[in-house]
Chains A and B, each alone.
Chain A
Amino acid sequence: MKNKISEIFRKFLNIFKPTKNKVVRSDDFEQTTYILDDTDKIQNGETIISVKNLEVQFRVRAKVLTAIRKVSVDIKKGETFAVVGESGSGKSVFTKTLVGMLEENGNVSGGQLLYAGVDLAQFVENKDWLKIRGKRISMIFQDPMTSLNPLKRIGFQVAEVIRIHRGLDKKSAKEEAIKLLERVGIKDARLRYRDFPFQYSGGMRQRVVIAIALACKPDILICDEPTTALDVTIQAQILELFKDLKDEFGFTIIFITHDLGVVAEIADRVAVMYAGQILELGTAEDIFYHSQHPYTWALLSSLPQLGRNDEDLFSIAGTPPSLIEDVKGDAFAPRNVHGMEIDYYKDSPLFKISETHYAKTWLLDPRAPKVKRPKIIDEIPERVAAIYTGGDL
């Protein structure tokens, strides 16, 4: 009888169990062994995350939306890797797959996500993800105003992670939390430990969020447009904080933004995303000074910082394609001023330009006509130099 009751009770509680995790096995499924504890052995500059042919799909009513279309990229330990692209290009989806936080209707429909050799795309249970989230890979979301529980005290929210992941008792977790809050620049952290989020300003809340994300010294910190909602001065302070913390903690940053200005501030390497693909990949220098893809040119040309007072600000005509149907050829073709016939029926491969630099455009094919880059792109080095020397453009 008692067993029966407890079983019923357990069944009832199961209602509250985690929703199923939606990771579909890739074709070449092999049981990977956990070697997560070895991540410390990975040297700076070695690959820590290797994404191979990643494809992510969402079910939208009866249709299928392919948000990530065969993305491959290696992320190196200790670098700041920026992902840029227009709204809807798949930046957030890409990072959500890294922590298994796709929405209910989405799944990884192909490819691999190797983190220190473990294929995260094979994770089926929430239990597996709990070993990763917060401890190994932390994530900071766009809106600092709403990322904290409005009805829990700041201190509780920071100490909570420390207690759960590091097993500290209440008292030492509190001390640790206060230290952490002070480290991210909360003044009077001890006094304001028991404040509620609404008593903090947006910038301070973002600092708290950063403190929580760093509480367990993760290997990787993913920042999804962490500064978009903040005003420019606070934004600059937060970026500065990221740089400092990175030097101190030595984590890898994956930084998502649609602001190339921010990228220039912080990134070592940059991936330019469009319609679920990476169109150009390279070091910050490659992308800013030697970009090869017309889409990157367009993005750079629309940067207000680089514009001169006498020029009209450039904007990209047209809209991205719908990802619900199969995209035929190059997704950017209809908006490409340098578009060619072939763009419309055959997608271009990723051409290797140098050891670090890749671009996905038929313009790099030897048979393609030589096109002239926009003047503004050629002038970027001078214009940037002018900004830094304070000269007028």
Chain B
Amino acid sequence: MENTLIRDKLTNILKSIFIAIKRFITSPTLIYTIRRILSGLFTLTLILAVVTALIRLIPDIKLYDVRLYSKLAGTSVTAAENYKIVQLFKYGRVDLDGNRIPVIRNILQYIYNALPIPKSIPIRWDTRYTVVLKYWEGFSYLGTSMDTNKLVNEMLAERIGVSFRISISSVFFAYLIGYPFGIAMAKKPGGIIDRLGTVFIVLNYAIPALVFFLLMNKILGNPSGIFGALNLGYFYIAGDWRSLIAPVFSIVFLSVPGIIIWVRRFMVDQLTSDYVKFARSKGLTENRIMYVHVLRNAFVPLIRNVPAAFIFAIIGSYYVEVIWGIPGTGNLLISAIRATTPDVPVIQGLTLIYSAMSMIAFLLGDIVTVWFDPRIRLTHKGDI
């Protein structure tokens, strides 16, 4: 008797758990999220294909040292040819017999290598390229740098940290300053704060970024200048957070106007909207309208914008990294492109992570919107 009661209870609990799981799995929001991830991966593949194909457009002659080639050719044509074949082989253009490899194989090979599945890939041969001396074992293989012979995976891992730190702090401070400022401007369009803000934005846009960065480097770093006491220095010193103040400040300064403009416009729209008028006519105080109604509504678009802002900060930090000598990804990209023979694996690797990060950023933005905005949140048909 008691047993059946307990069993009934248990089955009931199991049933409701099962229903909950089923609901979650079939929830349109989850399906949407998964669909977005899949389409993101597809786009990523496409980007890799295009970049690989574009790299194939670089003529062969740029990929090996022509002077060395002719010097070798002076003594032995085969030696010269062998040198050329080995070079082109490293770029994936020919196989070791000198037969050309089609672009499509390059693309597929790269994608296969990048896929996070366990694999082992030959990375070192003997001088004649007949015996493989070393295999790389792991998941995603992004190639070996032509320049340093280091694994691209490792180079990226080494360098992304500092770029991340700079971007995160820049975005954080830019929002910290831009958000309240934009709100203050929107509170009183045409008022004193609004006008000052407008002047700031116009001036800010008028300064070319590069000039500004160089100026900041000189002004902030000068030990005998106005900011000398702060001891910020001209260059980045690993492990010294003070040396990041000047570059972060410079990025923040230039990215604040965009945030201010966006926030101000959003706020003006909200503050003149009908629901705010109605809230006012209900007799709510201005503070309540601002904090309980308007600012809460601004939350979703705010969160939505942050990931993208962050990515743009990472990608856009070339100047800063070069000027302050910061060993980040921006710096790496520039040196990879400027090398005498372009460091193709590094370029490809950076493209891969930049695009992957952008995809993730936009994906996060959209998912946040879908999960938090009730108008967009996709509901079960029967729920309404």
Contact = CB atoms under 8 A, between A and B. Distances in A.
Interface of A: 12, 15-19, 99, 101, 104, 126, 129-130, 132-135, 138-139, 141, 143, 146-152, 160-161, 164-165, 195-196, 198-199, 209, 212-213, 216
Interface in B257-307: 273-275, 277-288, 290, 292-293, 296-297, 300
Contacts of B278: 139, 141, 147-148, 209, 212
B375 interface: yes
Contacts of A19: 187-188, 286
Contacts of A165: 283
Most A C-beta atoms less than 10 A away, residue of B184, B283, B375: B283
B284 A164 contact: yes
B107 interface: no
28 contacts: A15-B187, A16-B290, A17-B286, A17-B287, A18-B286, A19-B188, A19-B286, A101-B280, A104-B189, A130-B283, A134-B281, A135-B283, A138-B281, A139-B278, A141-B281, A146-B273, A146-B274, A147-B275, A149-B275, A149-B293, A149-B297, A152-B296, A160-B292, A164-B284, A164-B288, A196-B374, A196-B375, A212-B278
B152 interface: no
B171 interface: no
Given A141-B277, A147-B275, A134 B297 contact: no
Contacts of B282: 133-134, 138, 160-161, 212-213
Given A16-B286, A147-B274, 14 more contacts: A15-B183, A16-B287, A18-B286, A101-B280, A134-B281, A135-B283, A139-B278, A149-B275, A150-B275, A151-B374, A152-B293, A161-B284, A165-B283, A198-B375
Nearest to B375: A198
B283 A164 contact: yes
Contacts of A147: 274-275, 277-278
Contacts of B288: 164
A107 to B, nearest CB: 15
Contacts of B187: 15-16, 19
Interface string B133-165: 000000000000000000000000000000000
Nearest to A196: B374
Given A146-B273, A146-B274, A133 B290 contact: no
B302 to A, nearest CB: 13
A198 B374 contact: yes
B384 interface: yes
Contacts of A130: 283, 285
B274 A143 contact: yes
B219 interface: no
B375 A101 contact: no
Nearest to B276: A149
B382 to A, nearest CB: 13
Contacts of A199: 384
Nearest to B285: A130
B274 A126 contact: no
Nearest to A16: B290
Contacts of B281: 99, 101, 133-134, 138-139, 141
B60 interface: no
B373 interface: yes
B323 interface: no
B193 interface: yes
A164 B288 CA distance: 10
A129 B278 CA distance: 14
A335 B9 CA distance: 81
Contacts of B277: 101, 141, 147
A196 B275 CA distance: 14
A15 B193 contact: yes
Contacts of A152: 293, 296
Contacts of A16: 183-184, 187, 286-287, 290
Contacts of A132: 283
Nearest to A161: B282
A149 B283 CA distance: 15
B297 A133 contact: no
A166 to B, nearest CB: 11
A377 to B, nearest CB: 37
B373 A151 contact: yes
